Amino acid sequence: MASKYQAPRGTFDVLPEAARGRARIERAAAAIFARAGYEPIATPAFEDTELFERGVGRSTDIVRKEMFSFEDKGERSLTLRPEGTAPICRAYLEHGMHKLAQPVKLSYLGPFFRHERPQAGRYRQFHQLGLECIGTDSPLADAEAIMLLSDLLGELGVPGVQLRLGSLGSLDARRAYLEELKAHLRAHEGELSADVRERIDINPLRAFDSDDEGTQGVMGSAPTIVASLAGADAEHFAEVRALLDAAGVGYEVDPTLVRGLDYYTRTIFSFVCDALGAQSEIGGGGRYDGLIEQLGGPPTPAVGWAAGIERILLALDEVEAAPGRDAFVAIADESQRQRAMALAVELRRAGLAAEIDLAGRGLKGQLKHANRIGARRVLILEADGSAQLRDMESGEQRAADPGNLVDEMTGGES
């Protein structure tokens, strides 16, 4: 019977069959992070609103429109985290990680919240996994970060993935470029969409993302930051590309690439998968050399990325089959209940997946249930203390040694 309550708009329940696919992604990511030395970190699901205003940027859509903010009983403004980088930088400073050997390499996984208009691949509570490499400006860190996401998507078998790469230059270069871009936009103000026009001063880069035809025409002739990169910025970008080339990671330089968060400097990247349709980005990130200083810390260069678990699942479009059970302990008589429970516990301790009937079924019902859950073998405990071992695939049944039931079940496994 349907309840009158439903999961809130833009959210979803992860049912067991969907949880298995997620677990596979999480395991693969954890192994990749561990092998490269990115240790797990977890931060709270909510933070001071100001952290995101300062970190993500007041001009971004995320801060302007998409934050789930609320006041707590002490009248503090808190926000459900819309992203993971600002909180991790906050933790990095709060726990004095800037005094550790640098860089500090961290990985994370968890729920994030944005009040966006829900559609396929876009939710109000979604899950990201990601990494941050904090405390180095080496292009090696950029290339390593990109390669780790590329490896993860490759290992998971995500089809049709493309990597887009760009660079925003250092903070100063970016500032100078933004003035140039604003001048171009102002010169063509009449051709721009109202939304872009209103934001010329606060976020001119987003004009590259517009789907308005007039705006796109204006952007076709707009100066790009990649073309204007110079000096150390140009060298940094060239080195990142050379490292990716040497590692055989394919990419396309996209001079119009922008990201929805203000903190990026120099390298930015985006992994897209065309099969995903409108929300085609699976994951992305970049360098954020100014963020930690912005949050009150020392100048600290860093790079990181996040990938959306739901987007990966959509791109994979596969359902994991339920794992089979090794064993089911059935009873032919009520008197055997305690013995069955003890035996199941022992089998589990020996590493087997073993279940017992919890619903008071008769023996026939128990065998049917064992079959339903994919049990490979069933032990039937008889009233007289004897036991039968039934192979569910072949249907063969034989007497088992009652004094040695665990061995009977664990033996002959290979």
According to CB under 6 A, which one of 310, 326, 355, 357 is a site residue for ligand AMP?
310
Cβ of residue 302: shortest distance to ligand AMP, in angstroms? 15
Applying CB under 6 A, which of residues 307, 314, 378, 409 lies at the interface with ligand AMP? 307
Dist CA 110 CA 123 (whole Å) = 14
Taking alpha carbons only, the member of 76, 73, 17 closest to residue 51 is 76
| Whole-number Å distance between alpha carbons of 95 and 375 | 49
**DSSP characters over 342-408:** HHHHHHHHTT--EEE--S---HHHHHHHHHHTTEEEEEEE-TTS-EEEEETTT--EEEE-GGGHHHH
Q: Which stretch binds ligand AMP (CB under 6 A): 91-99, 121-129, 348-356, 378-386?
A: 121-129
Q: Which of 45, 80, 50, 87 is nearest to 66 (CA)?
A: 80
Q: Is residue 282 a contact residue for ligand AMP (CB under 6 A)?
A: yes
287 binds ligand AMP (CB under 6 A): no
What's 258's DSSP letter?
A: -
| Residues within window 58-87 making contact with ligand AMP, judged by CB under 6 A | 83
- Candidates 196, 268, 306, 316; binder of ligand AMP (CB under 6 A) is 306
Q: Give me the least distance between CB of 361 and ligand AMP, in Å please.
A: 42
Question: What are the beta bridge partners of residue 330?
Answer: 380
Q: In a 3-state reduction of DSSP, which class is residue 213?
A: helix
**Interface with ligand AMP, residue 123, by CB under 6 A:** yes
**139 is an interface residue for ligand AMP by CB under 6 A:** no
Burial class (CB in 10 A: 0-12, 13-18, 19+), 395: exposed
CB of 4 to ligand AMP, least distance (A): 27
Nearer Cβ to ligand AMP (281/320): 281
CB of 125 to ligand AMP, least distance (A): 8
CA dist 71 and 79 (Å) reads: 9
Tell me the number of residues near ligand AMP by CB under 6 A.
Answer: 19
CA distance 196 to 258: 14
Q: Considering only 93-101, 169-177, 305-313, 365-373, which stretch makes contact with ligand AMP by CB under 6 A?
A: 305-313
Interface positions with ligand AMP (CB under 6 A): 83, 114, 116, 121-123, 126, 128, 259-260, 281-284, 306-308, 310-311
